[in-house]
């Protein structure tokens, strides 16, 4: 058995599994070539996933590891807004068989997999981040800027950028430095401008520039609504005409941090087994196992 990562104080790394897997797939499949193992199974996304995660583990040195995943049945948000994420294309055929295989891979690496019916991976991450932050430092690895709403003194959101090992590391101070925003304002910004990727509209006619200006001037959607009479007439009319969608969009953008997950921090201790890692790496023909087991 490998020892715990020597990172000083305990810490947990919560991984946005689908974000890593999709990024890994498209980063390696853009040329049209998809790597397969000897059995013809596509493994390009799995290889990229392990490289991305391996880089992060070496840098963060967590003592605990969790991968959070979306489930296929959708989330409670679709009950409130059936069009939620309705504009997303189907996953590529070569990626689909890698969805379940990657969970087998992470299990062999000693990493706990977490998902929750009716909730998204973001909700699982938010729930565990808030719970574990009472005990230890929390790092969230993702490419999704929506998760910046979770940032606080004990929760750091690590956003993957182009290239392996290239990250933007968001603490409350860095978020304020880069965007002049507090974590809660990420939600209100999305409530105003909507999110094309998740397919909810926000307030019709208000884009990112206007939304950001309003948030910075009035602190929050509540502050904006309290000062409607002082807004330019054109902006006021847009908000008044779309109040229901404004509130719904803010609700859709909010990560639910009370998903029904029973897992505790002690169950997430990362204790990787060299033989299991070697075995699964042989199966998927991943030749960089030394990135993990030294």
Per-residue pLDDT of the chain (294 residues; tens, 9 = 90+): 223 334 457 999 999 999 999 999 999 988 888 999 999 999 999 999 999 999 999 999 999 999 999 998 889 999 999 999 999 999 999 999 999 999 999 999 999 999 999 999 999 999 999 999 999 999 999 999 999 999 999 999 999 988 777 899 999 999 999 999 999 999 999 999 999 999 999 999 999 999 999 999 999 999 999 999 999 999 999 999 999 999 999 999 999 999 999 999 999 999 989 999 999 999 999 988 766 655
In a domain, 3, yes or no: no
pLDDT of the residue at 120? 97
Evaluate whether residue 63 is within a structural domain: yes
Q: Is residue 95 part of a domain?
A: yes
Torsional sign, CA 175, 124, 127, 52: negative
Residue 30: the pLDDT is 83
Query: Are residues 75 and 211 located together in one domain of the fold?
Result: no
37: in domain: yes
Q: How many domains does the chain have?
A: 2
Inside any domain, residue 5: no
| pLDDT value of residue 292 | 64
Q: Which two tokens stand for residue 51?
A: 């490289």
> Do 206 and 188 belong together in one domain?
yes
Q: How far is Cα 193 from Cα 182, in angstroms, rounded to an integer? A: 17
CATH number of residue 274's parent domain: 3.40.50.1010
Q: Is the domain of 123 the same as that of 247?
A: no
pLDDT at 138: 98
Domain shared by 87 and 196, yes or no: no
Question: Are residues 285 and 240 both part of a single domain?
Answer: no
Q: Are residues 239 and 124 in the same domain?
A: no
User: Is residue 2 included in any domain, yes or no?
Assistant: no
The answer to whether residues 248 and 259 belong to one domain is no
Residue 222 covered by a domain: yes
Does 159 lie in the same domain as 34? yes
CATH of the domain at 214: 1.10.150.20
Does residue 18 fall inside a structural domain? yes
Residue 61 vs residues 9, 67, 95, 151, 158: alpha-carbon distances, Å: 10, 15, 29, 19, 13
Residue finishing a domain among 238, 253, 268: 253
Residue 201 shares a structural domain with residue 276: no
Tell me the residue range of the domain where 226 lies. 181-253
Asked whether residue 189 falls in the same domain as residue 240, the answer is: yes
**Is 138 found in the same domain as 23?**
yes
Query: CB under 8 Å to 1, separation ≥6 — which residues?
Result: 271, 272, 273, 274
Q: In what order do the strands lie in the sheet with 11-16?
A: 112-114, 64-68, 11-16, 137-142, 155-160, 167-170
Same domain, 153 and 225: no
Query: In b/e form, how buried is each residue of 103-118, taking b as 16+ CB within 10 angstroms?
Result: bebbebbbbbebbbeb
């Amino acid at each position: 058995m490998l020892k715990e990562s020597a990172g000083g104080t305990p810490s947990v790394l919560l991984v946005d599994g689908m974000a890593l897997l999709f990024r890994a797939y498209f980063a390696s499949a853009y040329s049209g070539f998809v790597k397969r193992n000897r059995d013809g199974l596509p493994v390009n996304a799995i290889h990229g996933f392990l490289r991305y995660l391996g880089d992060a583990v070496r840098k963060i040195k967590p003592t605990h590891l969790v991968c959070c995943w979306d489930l296929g049945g959708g989330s409670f948000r679709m009950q409130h807004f059936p069009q939620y994420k309705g504009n997303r294309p189907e996953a590529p055929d070569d990626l689909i068989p890698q969805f379940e295989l990657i969970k087998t891979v992470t299990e062999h690496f000693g990493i706990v997999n977490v998902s929750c019916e009716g909730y998204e991976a973001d909700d699982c991450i938010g729930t565990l981040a808030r719970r574990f932050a009472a005990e230890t430092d929390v790092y969230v690895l993702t490419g999704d800027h929506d998760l910046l709403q979770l940032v606080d003194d004990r929760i750091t959101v690590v956003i993957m950028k182009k290239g392996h090992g290239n990250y933007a590391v968001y603490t409350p101070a860095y978020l304020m430095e880069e965007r002049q925003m507090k974590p809660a304002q990420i939600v209100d910004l999305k409530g105003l401008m909507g999110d094309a990727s998740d397919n909810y509209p926000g307030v019709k006619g208000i884009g990112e520039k206007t939304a950001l200006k309003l948030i910075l001037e009035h602190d929050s959607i509540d502050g904006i609504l309290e000062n409607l009479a002082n807004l330019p007439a054109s902006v006021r009319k847009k908000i008044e005409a779309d109040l229901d969608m404004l509130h719904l969009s803010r609700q859709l953008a909010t990560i639910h941090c009370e998903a029904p997950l029973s897992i505790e921090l002690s169950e997430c201790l990362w204790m990787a087994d060299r033989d299991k890692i070697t075995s699964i790496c042989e199966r998927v023909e991943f030749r960089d196992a030394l990135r993990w087991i030294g």
